[in-house]
């Protein structure tokens, strides 16, 4: 059975994937915001500050980081 940490790692993989489109990455960022935790916040910060991410992904990462920071 998958653990919550497994889910976080899968969402991080999607967020960092070169093959995932912006809507999928934005959804992964949203999921990480709900999951919270150190790894999720670190991945969101990386996505937010990466110049290679599109605006949709960075906005989703910023919103998700705000949610994750409440944990």
Residue 56 has pLDDT above 90, yes or no: yes
CA atoms within 13 A on the CB side of 12: 18
* 11-40 per-position pLDDT tens digit: 999 999 999 999 999 999 999 999 999 999
- Amino acid 71: pLDDT: 66
Taking alpha carbons only, the member of 32, 59, 56, 61 closest to residue 45 is 61
pTM for this predicted structure: 0.92
Per-residue pLDDT for 65 more than 80?
yes
Gap between the Cα atoms of 18 and 14, Å rounded: 8
20: left (phi over 0), alpha (psi -120 to 50) or beta: beta
Structure token digits, residue 56:
């949709």
């Amino acid at each position: 059975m998958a653990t919550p940490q497994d889910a976080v790692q899968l969402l991080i993989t999607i967020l960092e994937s070169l093959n995932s489109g912006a809507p999928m990455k934005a959804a992964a960022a949203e999921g990480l915001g709900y999951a919270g935790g150190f790894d999720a916040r670190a991945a969101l910060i990386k996505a937010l500050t990466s110049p290679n991410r599109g605006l949709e992904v960075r906005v989703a990462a910023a919103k998700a980081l705000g949610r994750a920071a409440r944990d």
